[in-house]
Structure 1
Amino acid sequence: MENAFVEKARENHEKGYNCAQSVACAFLPVLSIDESTLFSVMEGFGGGMGGNEATCGALSGAVAVASLLTSSGKVENLTKAKTYELAKQMVELFEQRTQSLVCKELKGTESGVALRSCPLCIEDAVLIAQQVLHIE
């Protein structure tokens, strides 16, 4: 059986969502945020941070999910360390799997050798988020 979160992320990307939006919005069933707000927040993270081909948008989407699930939304509740710990785990696992965190390296923009396609980065980010955040 297909993974529902991966399938939703794929559908999102096929509809024109950027990589960050595709990943983050796939997790709407477990988040306390509406799609329009999450879509808007994630918009600038696409294309490797505003089209700069820097940090992979799919990974940014996964980290956003961790933040939304972990943060209390209040500085005095001291959730930052836990959120950072989860984000660090995701970054490390993503880099191990894809060999880079950088969009232009993943897509092979400068080298001509793609390490990973956007659809595969999206799938990787979803699976890693599920693993680290224990989402089934």
Structure 2
Amino acid sequence: MLSDPKLVTDDLIEERWQAANHADALQTMKAMYSAEAFALQQQFLAQSATPPYWSMLHKVQCPTLLTWGFDDRQCPLDMAAIPLRLIPNAELHVFPNCGHWVNTEAKDACERVSIEFLRR
């Protein structure tokens, strides 16, 4: 999640470990990422009149700020092209030397960019 290994402390590891071992965590992960969940999603999409969220991004009507870490290994930078292309009036700000947790690893810069965006 973090680009800078110095930010990975024993306390952070313990916090993430406790969160991952929480009773609801396994159920949540299974519901999102398991083969069964994927099969259910495919079944739902085949039977539902509700399209998947990503196919409706073009309907977003408000200006949208996308923030991305250049060194994000969970959602690499090229993934930002999808919402950037599909959401009208979307802006992308890429933070250097930053992983997936932009609001943690580039906290001050992220807050500055967000405030500037909101003030416009």
TM-score, length basis structure 1: 0.24
* TM-score normalised by L of structure 2: 0.27
Structure with higher RCO (Cα < 8 A, 6+ apart): 2
